[in-house]
Structure 1
């Protein structure tokens, strides 16, 4: 960390909020500082763009857009982005300050990592990339320098979005290529384009470097390295470090396939493969490889790359010619020589006996029928098939409670204990954990969308669109989604379909015998064009609907002409004295409109206004229609609400 204070930004407060305290690093794009957020009183990292890039308007616009996209990522393995802004000529990004070191520092210190250790680091890295890929963001600069290791050993990926922003700059890309050429996918070299599979290629290259201590393609110039990315395949890591598992070789060669179509299709798919290989490695695998690389097992060490000095000091072989001269031993008597010879003979016999016992035990261990292995391919098998395979091999099987898993499909084995490849005794118990489908996701609200739009939204959220059914609706236009099953806000596994209920349009309600004014109000609330005709028909209640056109159940749409025939009252003096025993002097009071209110609230409002309440159909939690709507009605008359 540069604390000399020679940097002109050190000590300055950006935008009246971020006090620059010291410089951490300087790169081709920006300089990173430790700063204090004065407003929130916390330590942050501030990345300030170099002046040349900050003067490029196109780059700044792209940088701001990518910073916003990066800030939207919510993943514990992503270095969080807090803020973005500018202060004069300084365009900056405020990020989480991670105390620790980079993966490059760790790799430089240790030379290379064991397979399990490497895969343990790759999993959070791929989880972070997977979150970006789900959000439509491509990192484009995956390398050990951009992986931070916290003080408690957690891995976090930095610089999301910055690599994409770089490509928008009109400046030369030479500096960028030199810095990242070792991890560039062939398509980036050939066309400069990149997608999520380009990140997978870089992650596979980084995994190769972690377990071998070197990059797969090397050359005297960046152009020579780029040429190799395009024209040569990445070799299996075990060709450099004998003893590495073949399944790890497969991980690397698949991820670094020259054709993007032959790679895992995003970081999430690669993560599933990495997790499966990691689960199949014994916990002491790295220790075994380390012991095999110590003196007496020098072939492995010669095949691998140089280790760090501290590691090499433990494995360095001593040449007898470098030992200091020692004084000659004093001459021994004949008796001493005889005793020495006898002693040496017994020692040789004892050593031979011990060696024979060890050899016999090793042969018995490897060839006797007392041991077996959990099959490598057990993960992803149907539970019934896995049970048959294990029981057929003389093992006992138990099935644990199912768990959600994004790695395997519903009904398949998500995990086993002991894990795949583990060595166990005959008759031992293997516990299988089934998958009950992929991890549930929240169902979005797609009401009011077309069926095609709703299906696309569900797919973008990682869910599976199901069948479509129709239902009549008085409020949702024909062809638009009314609701989903399960409802919006609930969670559903992507392995289970989300069904759509689409409006078949409005249907003409039955209004015969209803109060004419109420019927007219209801139809107008549906957006229909209402014409009221009146005629006198004895024996029918005055003011009620005698007929309607169209008839009940007919499909209608907004603007449809509807004719109501209402039985005319025969009243005198403004309706105060009417025939048929119907007196018009009942108290008329305003009908409150409760559409959009929760049912309980609507019921209370209507009762408080002096009406009785009848609830019709109730699909949702809120009122979508009422009868009568607006106007006035007799006190203690009935108002129908539905949802």
Structure 2
């Protein structure tokens, strides 16, 4: 770990959320820190692009592409990317913090791996690459530095910064090859083009390195190493470490073929081949190989700090016996002894085969079950002769609800037939707060929810006197409540205000009620015999119709009969100078709307205040007041 303490970012809070606690490592293009997510109170890793590269638009786009590429993958062997942010000159990624060390650290410490240990390590690496290949992504930089090993032994592939969609995997700039030269496939050196088979090549190189302790092609300059990738084949690992089985050699030489069509066609196929060879090696293969090497059988000892597992060739089936030794043994026999020797060898092979097919036969917990529906995973495991139990579901940020979050034994582990595998289902992604989308259009609300990882479920409509038509009234769960993003959020949309039933009511009161709702009221007078004067005869639109602020509505009000016939005398009707009429409440309306509505209701208007265009106070604000009296409104911001 990089213990430098003079880093200016240490102690700062990025984007108001991520407090940088220490620096982990510094590379040529970015620096990795340990940070605390203050909002979720968890430790994360932060990869910050070097400030000098922030002006390079192509590099920034590739850097951000890492977040999109890795975030698209949901796999337990891929380091999760949580977020991508920019804070001033700092462009950074927020990632899962993996406590442990790199595969490079482990290889440096051990020297080299035994065949079983190497194949066991490669399986989760290939499972992670296989997930990327299924998603159409090419990693482009497979190497031990990008493989992390957690404290409990879990393997995770990191650094998808060079990942690209397969159809776009070419040189980023003319003449610029991206990747690490020791692991570059010939086609990457020659043209810069890469597809999933280029990742297979790099994985084959990494397997060679695990088995032997060094890369197959070495040179004084990167150009010299690249030349060897194009012009020299990768030798079998057994040419460096005698005793490595031929089938392990074949894995390396097939994966590193110069012709991409002769390699496994993606990491999933390579994973299956590695798993098959791993399953064919006895469990104590590495230990016995090491003992054989140290026991003076003629095989070289491992490096000073090395650790490998060497099997005595005399105890192996004929497939693993060095041909020269077998030839010498048979050549020393004559006549009937040759037949006896051949029979003994045949019996040995037959006995080994029977042992392997019975007590020696094992199954592997397939990596593919992670993320699979529990029922499908159960069927697959039971068809392989394993027992299955289901544990209590847990939240998991990488596996969606109903999928397998983890297994015990873990994915990739070797288990005997009849053994029980416990599957832990995912309850979904860890719950987070539902954002507030009230008052937004449905489209804007959907985008806000999706930006936070949620999906919109059931939508319904409901009338509202306060929320405009086609705007969101609320959600279920309500804003601020926590819910897993795997569970949809229900949204209620306003169908507008509902037109009340005003027929038969006092015309002035009815008009004021509508004005208080923000509607433009058109009052028409019509004299109809047999109807109470100044009452609403009809309305448009009708009762229950959805309306929104600013809509125009019409009330037809019965006229008063202003001529009273009393024989030879006729009297004009009393206009009701002392008539009291309802006062509409204009609070929170604009001053212009309030002035217009109050005047139409029969009042004078006095406006006071200190700026602003909203009515913050009104006197009188309700009840009744004499027609023609003054209503005072106080404006404010």
TM-score (norm 2): 0.48
